[in-house]
Structure 1
């Protein structure tokens, strides 16, 4: 079932990709994909190209994919290991979600972070208390690691 679903999702994301996102298998392994998210326009990540590792479990879509940023990013919901704090990748997962919808949600997180549920609390505090400095550092990291 997982392979049939992944083949269908690959066709969907190839023919009708979400804005600023793409993904596909690494080589011939349909369970291991690489994703790309372009920094959203008018965000502190604009101009960046962010790569993600995507691992689909054997019981996909009943369990969520494991997605990790490979490109370093300064973000309160993404830690230095690339782990993403996003509810739909954990307890809010639904088999109705597709990789296209998940990548779109991650892209939205780059535009609107969630400092109320941070993975990196010091970045969340900085975002809330000193937005100008937060944005300066995020832009610098984007330039250094994602371009």
Structure 2
């Protein structure tokens, strides 16, 4: 009568059918389990005040977008560049009868969370020679600075810019560069806007 000798490899497993390695892997301290179950809160959480500002400005911008899409100003168009409602791109056609007639000008419009209580930042992307627009495209326009009002809209701003292209304001020359005079187009602008008797 032979008796079977149990080899070490055939040793019975621990209770529950799991090995020692599996038990060690499953034995996670309670502290770590709580950390995994409750992820850390983001430190960059938006405050309720900032969220309210974003909500107010976004609603106003959405409203203006609907209005300008339905009834755009003459020779103008504008809308978001992509998914960001606070970043717009505008196109202005040179006003008929002006030295810019036939030109196509692109502008960037940047809104802040404080809009409409603070003006948007509007700059020309297309190079333009104008006594109230500098080489960086910054526009010297009162309603974009101290004379801004929450009652104003982007449509009215674009209309004011078109008016500025037709009849510039020599009392507020924005260009301060030493090489601005040789440009023929600028000389034509100066002839119309500043000195009608300027010979070119």
TM bucket (normalised to shorter chain) is: 0.7 to 0.9
Within 5 Å, give how 1:67-82 maps onto structure 2.
67-82=122-137
- 3-state SS in 1 of match to 2:86: strand
Quick one: structure 1 residues 107 and 131, their matched pair in 2 at CA, closer, same or farther if it must change by over 3 Å?
farther
Instruction: Tell me whether 1:62 sits opposite 2:111 in the alignment.
Output: no
What's the offset of the Cα at 1:56? 0.3
Higher relative contact order (CA 8 A, sep 6+): 1
- 3-state SS in 2 of match to 1:61: coil
User: 1:23 & 1:106 partners in 2: Cα distance?
Assistant: 13
Instruction: Tell me whether 1:28 sits opposite 2:80 in the alignment.
Output: no
Decide which structure has the larger Cα Rg and report it.
2
Structure with the higher fraction of residues in strand conformation: 1
- 2:141 aligns to what? 86
Listed one character per residue, the Cα deviations across residues 62-85 of structure 1 (whole Å, up to 9, x for unaligned) are: 000000000011100001100000
Runs of 4+ in 1 over 6 A off after TM superposition: 122-125
Give the stretch that moved more between structures: 122-131 or 87-96. 122-131
What's the offset of the Cα at 1:61? 0.1
User: 2:129 & 2:198 partners in 1: Cα distance?
Assistant: 13
What's the offset of the Cα at 1:6? 0.3
Please give the root-mean-square deviation of Cα atoms over the aligned residues, in Å: 1.8
User: 1:21 & 1:71 partners in 2: Cα distance?
Assistant: 15
- 2:68 aligns to what? 13
User: 1:34 & 1:131 partners in 2: Cα distance?
Assistant: 35
Query: Taking structure 2 as the reference length, what is the TM-score of the superposition?
Result: 0.63
User: 2:85 & 2:146 partners in 1: Cα distance?
Assistant: 24
Query: Taking structure 1 as the reference length, what is the TM-score of the superposition?
Result: 0.85
User: 1:132 & 1:108 partners in 2: Cα distance?
Assistant: 25
- 3-state SS in 2 of match to 1:34: strand
